[in-house]
Amino acid sequence: VCAWSAGIFIDSRVLLPAFALLVGAAITLILTILLWQERRSRLIICLFLCLLLGAWRYSTVSLANDPLALSTSIGTSVTIHGTVSEEPKLYGKNHLLSLSDISISRDKGAVWQDAHGQLTVQAPGTEIEDPYGANYGNVVELQGKLLAPLPHSAPNVLANMLFPRIHVIANVGNPLLATLYSWRITLSNIIEQSLPQPAAALLAAILLGLHTPALHPLSPIFSETGTVHLFVSSGFKVTLLAGLVANSTKWLYSNKIEQGKLLPAQKRGGWRRWLST
């Protein structure tokens, strides 16, 4: 793991050709097989192999010197086709869209070419689901100026667009994800209608992982007290969910065990227990 991570770090500083790294890894693999009987040489060569493979992996996914990267068009006005790949997020008094599968035109749609990397788009509005705007799964056309990525953006986000003209063309999203997102918004609206703020915002964050503007004043308090894991996605929440599911499906097999209808060998498995799992 250390050698693999070192390869990633070295290649992030001095970007080497992916093909050359792959050839070097292949030669090193052959040496590893030939010198397998020599314990010390085998260990050193295996470490060097992991270093080369880590560097090769970084080189294949890095967009630093990619001529088709979105970052090469920063500062210019362009037309973009892309797919909203995630549920919109609230960003200050606006909502933030994440776009992937991007095509770009620098001459108002006459010529199109693929562009690598993801794009964030700041659009007006304080609602996560905009019935008249772009949502998850929509294919959109944007017209605007490409800007540098927002602070703390993911490495694959190479540009940002501020308040562009947005036109929804089609919908190609996963229908299951779209349904889940819609249910989450519906449940959040029910909570907000049933409880006062900021209690409603806190409950929506704990149960649904949905961060609304009313939650922002409470965030520093939870950070200072070390309890921020209550309303962010974490293993703690997955554990609670697994416990709830396990307890609520115990009736599938617990009654028969208590009544003594199962043999000792049957208590270890059976389709009922697998269904609960």
Q: Give the model's confidence band at 273: pLDDT under 50 very low, under 70 low, under 90 confident, else very high.
A: confident
The share of the chain scoring above pLDDT 90, in percent, equals: 13
**Are 149 and 118 within 8 A, CB to CB?**
no
**Geometric angle at alpha carbon 246, from 243 and 247, rounded to 5°:** 85
Whole-prediction pTM: 0.63
Q: What is the pLDDT of residue 51?
A: 93
Q: Give the tens place of pLDDT for each residue, 92-126.
A: 778 888 998 889 988 887 888 888 888 999 888 76
CA angle 80, 145, 110 (to 5 degrees): 40
Q: What is the mean pLDDT of residues 221-242?
A: 82
* CA distance linking residue 3 with residue 5, whole number of Å: 5
Q: How far apart are CA 186 and CA 211, in angstroms?
A: 14
Are 116 and 68 in contact, with CB atoms under 8 Å apart? Answer: yes
pLDDT per residue as tens digits for the range 12-68: 888 788 888 989 999 998 888 888 888 888 888 899 999 999 999 988 887 777 778
User: What's the pLDDT band for 217 if we cut at 50, 70, 90?
Assistant: confident
pLDDT digits 0-9 by tens, 130-158: 666 788 888 999 998 989 888 888 888 88
Cis peptide before 198 (omega within 30 of 0): yes
Residue 266 has pLDDT above 70, yes or no: no
- Round to whole Å and give the CA distance between 178 and 196: 28
Of 27, 28, 54, nearest to 41 by C-alpha is: 28
